[in-house]
Amino acid sequence: GPLEETSLPLFFGWFLSPTFKDKLKGMAEDLLKTLGTLDAFKKHLADFTGEAEKEVNLEQYFHQTGPLHCTTKFCDFGKAEGAKEYAEKPSVKEWYGRMTELTLSALFITPRTLGARVTLSQEQLELWPDDTKAESTPDLPAGSRAHVTLGCAEGVEPVQTGLDLLEIIQLQQQGQEGEKVQDLELGPLAYYGKGIWVLSLSEPSLVPALFSSYYG
């Protein structure tokens, strides 16, 4: 019936607690501010502008709306493949409405997105959908895509953040460590080419988050 058809959310995920949300936003803002001043960034400015001469204000380049979260399963109100199966998983029912602590291991910036990489625990991986293994990168470990979208460039959809992260992890798996640029306060900053910048957090950030769903 109609009730059943509308019972699945836009997505399931972990929603960051308000206090830590502001802390993470602050970390990202600091990174953008610093990156914008680095000669190494200015050298590769064309990655962002398309023309080497143009200026870019990184602090105004990315936009974020909605709650800060780490998507586990995008259900699209039931239209996405495997949505119903996911919602019925025992682990999903068990964890629904409960808090967990997410480990943020890196911040990344590309010309399209700004995100935080989430390193999932074994327990958290139980909430990761199985079907994502069938995505374009079957060689990567489950949960590789886990992230928090902190911002998107004009005209870019948030789904892009996970794809950008997968590209970074694939580069790392191929043995690329990026070109080390500088040690920042939070850890080493590396450039991976094509406008991809990664700040690895020397001390991973632990963020309380609530497992729930979003109906938009």
As annotated, the active-site residues are: 69, 147
Give yes or no for residue 111 binding ligand A2P (CB under 6 A): no
Give yes or no for residue 12 binding ligand A2P (CB under 6 A): no
Name 177's Cβ contacts closer than 8 Å, sequence gap at least 6. 190
- Judged by CB under 6 A, the stretch of 21-29, 86-94, 159-167, 175-183 that binds ligand A2P is 159-167
Tell me whether residue 113 or residue 205 sits nearer to ligand A2P (CB atom): 113
In the complex, what is the shortest distance from the CB of residue 149 to ligand A2P, in angstroms, rounded to a whole number? 3
Name 121's Cβ contacts closer than 8 Å, sequence gap at least 6. 103
- Judged by CB under 6 A, the stretch of 98-106, 157-165, 167-175, 201-209 that binds ligand A2P is 157-165
> What distance in Å separates the CA atoms of residue 28 and residue 34, rounded to the nearest whole number?
10
Give yes or no for residue 211 binding ligand A2P (CB under 6 A): no
Query: Contact, 16 vs 92, CB < 8 A?
Result: no
* Alpha-carbon distance values, 22 to 16, 67, 102, 185, 198 (Å): 10, 11, 15, 18, 20
Name 204's Cβ contacts closer than 8 Å, sequence gap at least 6. 103, 104, 105, 119
Give yes or no for residue 74 binding ligand A2P (CB under 6 A): yes
> What distance in Å separates the CA atoms of residue 149 and residue 200, rounded to the nearest whole number?
16
Q: Which of 59, 101, 157, 185 binds ligand A2P (CB under 6 A)?
A: 157
Q: Which of 110, 124, 144, 161 binds ligand A2P (CB under 6 A)?
A: 161
Give yes or no for residue 9 binding ligand A2P (CB under 6 A): no
